[in-house]
A and B are shown apart, each in its own frame.
Chain A
């Protein structure tokens, strides 16, 4: 059963509180996070097939506060005796250099609980051969739509992640299933190769991997359009963004800049805008790890803080940022459940979960019909944050030209959206009544990848395209 802890972790859950208690004989605060994750990957394309175990992760990280900062020992084992021995020696070493700088770490209200995501079809309950055959069938459906298709790829992955957190007041555990499916079609014509993709993801079960014929036909149409796409004339345009593009703006343009470790480092321009307008009054943006089924969801963060939504921007005004334990303690602000680490081997940072703009009341189709001249940006392929300069870069695989409210059939590719973040957000003139979240893996800079999702409704705004 994917909802229960595996035996190694279940045994460890019994003894971790005592191990933390022993550590706190030497240091003013200690905690432990044990984690184990495993899953399956399937890859099928025109010329290759592969079924493998997703790279597993298994280990424990022991955290000890020395009065000034956190010291950690990460071990690739779940053996209780070994962990107890190493924890004792580690805490004794850290304890020998404890200082009193008047900083207290709040362990949280007492709580013992276990949580698990709910799935209609837990992937482990679906025979591996069935999962593989599903991918082969999807590949066969993808491959037949156009004689210009030179390759088509189906990438499937499921992963179940178990975590146990203990400090002096809390003993928490969670089991989270994550599913991700990506379909890619490549077409070639006159020495030019183009491609596009669709994805499915979530903290859900295998049921999430169903793909309708219409979506595959739309994918073929997109690649056909790209084979004749031109480059855009750089300039400032009226645009309507689709939910995926909206989400990348939320995540890259604003989200990274409100991760509060950036405040500690003096790296966030948003620090100067607390309580001030940063966007159109139509804009409300949240980070919410509790969204059922979303790819970035969890029940508690890697420092034992229970998940809850954080309103970052309300009606255009910047409200608060996202914190890990260190940032909240040093900045003396309330914690949010955003202390996350890539694995036990990596440090915790303040990280987003599911970050999105809340829907408004506009009809997305009407928003496009309202463009006299501009572009529709349905997709985003990548983005990069610039919390200090508040510059933004989001790459869209293509833009569709709109004139007098109608698509002209002209497609430009690829298109970069650049500019000054507040200028972009203040230019929002309509917010759609739709909402869609899409998952992926987010790095801090160029490392520290964690599962997240981002999204929102359609937005109408002015953007600098090139």
Chain B
């Protein structure tokens, strides 16, 4: 796989042994090599510098056997083990243990994906790979320069990670693939004000390439929010329109992501049905189009194949508010007799027809730019998130607010929503910059 790390010898040694191990009816192996440079700042000074190298082999063995507590057709069990280079002398015993673990579990039989042509995708950034330690320092310098240009704001701390990951996959049915990816992770805290009146903004971003991280714009946006936090007051309690923008949007779609997955349906945890609306109640706004995009250029979850070796693809899950199909890992696709799309990739939402400025129209609107943690229940879709920073119009002017909470139900809220025409790319999300939900509860004064 790499000249530097000795290629695929580890993978080849293990897969050769797998093929000879009694009780291994199928196998899947992934060799993962990771190198990461980590640079930590407190204020302007380095706090720590770290370099990490790891190599591991993730192996799944599949064993077919009669059911343990019943009679009937043979069933299949699987077990995962992670092997490190130091495990090679004990490989036979480790694989024997894995076969025993797999022999305990009784599941309906399923097959593994076979050979396939893997799509060419863009996931590695040469600019990050040229000199990662130097790049991490450059990012730190750019960050400090951008913060220095912002009045009334200082850098509390920052973490810059540059990660290179190489993965090689093979299975017993001939699937094979290589993937090389990079990640730039920036985690920073901006502080505005002084003494008891200080307020902070915490930002965490992940991009596959340096060119997708506009540090000046990022700092300018969040510095303004930090300054606004200084004069924020408790929100007025109301039930009405709430516009959610920024990083909170990705989390809002977690329940829909799970409910459009084959495993959730196989587990009988979703009431959604193909050909029916995903929202609850009559449609009063714009209808949602929701896509799993496995080939989004430089998307955080873009790859040539998923963990099972299914080629990544772009799948329209919800079109105009109607459930079209399920994303399905190979096993669950077989169980439900539907096409295998592979695991969920990047979230892509179709933009709406309304400019953001129009979404913000009206005296009763609350515009939330940051929650403490928007954490909707994955099964029920209900949520209640504390407002870290929002804006409410008072006397025709936007007033920053914080504290209080916004609550609702994702599936009900989608029945009466409008999507901005402007879009944003956030690593694993490409879609509207903001969404307006017409009826959510704002708890406050």
Contact = CB atoms under 8 A, between A and B. Distances in A.
B42 A151 contact: no
A267 to B, nearest CB: 6
B267 A420 contact: no
Contacts of B82: 53, 55-56
Contacts of B382: 413-414
B77 interface: yes
Given A128-B104, A231-B407, A393-B372, A466 B156 contact: no
Interface in A383-402: 384, 386, 388-389, 391-393, 395
A55 B444 CA distance: 44
Interface stretch (B20-28, B52-60, B286-294, B421-429): B52-60
Interface string A32-67: 000000001000011111111101101100000000
A363 interface: no
Interface stretch (B196-204, B214-222, B320-328, B338-346): B196-204
B200 A466 contact: no
B263 to A, nearest CB: 9
A414 B377 contact: yes
A69 B48 contact: yes
Nearest to A79: B86
Nearest to B33: A76
Contact of B54 (A51, A59, A186): A59
Interface string B430-442: 0000000000010
A186 B36 CA distance: 41
B443 interface: yes
Contact of A466 (B43, B105, B407): B407
B65 to A, nearest CB: 12
Given A74-B52, A393-B385, A195 B102 contact: no
Contacts of B55: 76
A109 to B, nearest CB: 25
Contact of A418 (B189, B375, B386): B386
B45 interface: yes
Contacts of A266: 43, 156, 191, 198
A84 interface: no
A210 B27 CA distance: 35
B429 to A, nearest CB: 15
Contact of B379 (A195, A415, A464): A195
A334 interface: no
Interface centre among B69, B380, B444, by most chain A C-beta atoms within 10 angstroms, is B380
Interface residues of A, number: 72
A115 B243 CA distance: 54
A389 B373 contact: no
Contacts of A73: 50-51
A345 B49 contact: no
B372 A78 contact: no
A186 B42 CA distance: 46
Contacts of B78: 50, 52
Contact of B81 (A53, A79, A386): A53
A347 B104 contact: no
B199 A48 contact: no
Interface string A176-212: 0000000000101001111100000000000000000
Contacts of A121: none
A51 B386 contact: no
B39 to A, nearest CB: 11
Interface string A65-87: 00011111111111100000000
B127 interface: no
Interface string A425-452: 0000000000000000000011000000
Contacts of A105: none
A405 interface: no
Taking residues whose C-beta sits less than 8 angstroms from the other chain, chain B's interface range is 35 or more
B196 A418 contact: no
Interface string B353-377: 0000000000000000000110101
Interface in A124-167: 128-129, 132, 136, 150-151
B60 to A, nearest CB: 8
Given A150-B269, A195-B379, A415 B384 contact: yes
Interface in B74-93: 77-82, 84-86
Given A391-B372, A418-B405, A466-B407, A150 B268 contact: yes
A418 B404 contact: yes
B399 to A, nearest CB: 17
A392 B199 contact: no
B45 A129 contact: no
Nearest to B405: A466
B80 A345 contact: no
A420 B180 CA distance: 46
Contacts of A78: 86
Nearest to A70: B48
A413 B380 CA distance: 10
Contacts of A231: 407, 441
A395 B375 contact: yes
Contacts of B97: 53
Contacts of A10: none
A372 to B, nearest CB: 22
Contacts of A365: none
B156 to A, nearest CB: 5
A466 B403 CA distance: 12
A332 interface: no
B388 interface: yes
B152 to A, nearest CB: 14
Nearest to B106: A49
A85 B73 CA distance: 55
Contacts of B49: 69, 71-72
B191 A151 contact: no
Interface string A407-425: 0000001111011100000
A124 to B, nearest CB: 12
B79 A46 contact: no
Contacts of B229: 389
B85 A77 contact: yes
7 contacts: A40-B101, A45-B267, A53-B101, A266-B198, A326-B47, A391-B403, A416-B386
Interface of A: 8, 40, 45-53, 55-56, 58-59, 68-79, 128-129, 132, 136, 150-151, 186, 188, 191-195, 231, 234-235, 264-267, 269, 272, 326, 345, 347, 382, 384, 386, 388-389, 391-393, 395, 413-416, 418-420, 445-446, 464, 466
The 9 closest A-B pairs by CB, nearest first: A234-B443, A466-B443, A416-B384, A393-B386, A76-B54, A384-B373, A49-B105, A74-B52, A393-B372
Given A45-B267, A49-B107, 9 more contacts: A51-B77, A52-B81, A52-B101, A74-B53, A150-B268, A193-B380, A265-B156, A445-B202, A464-B443
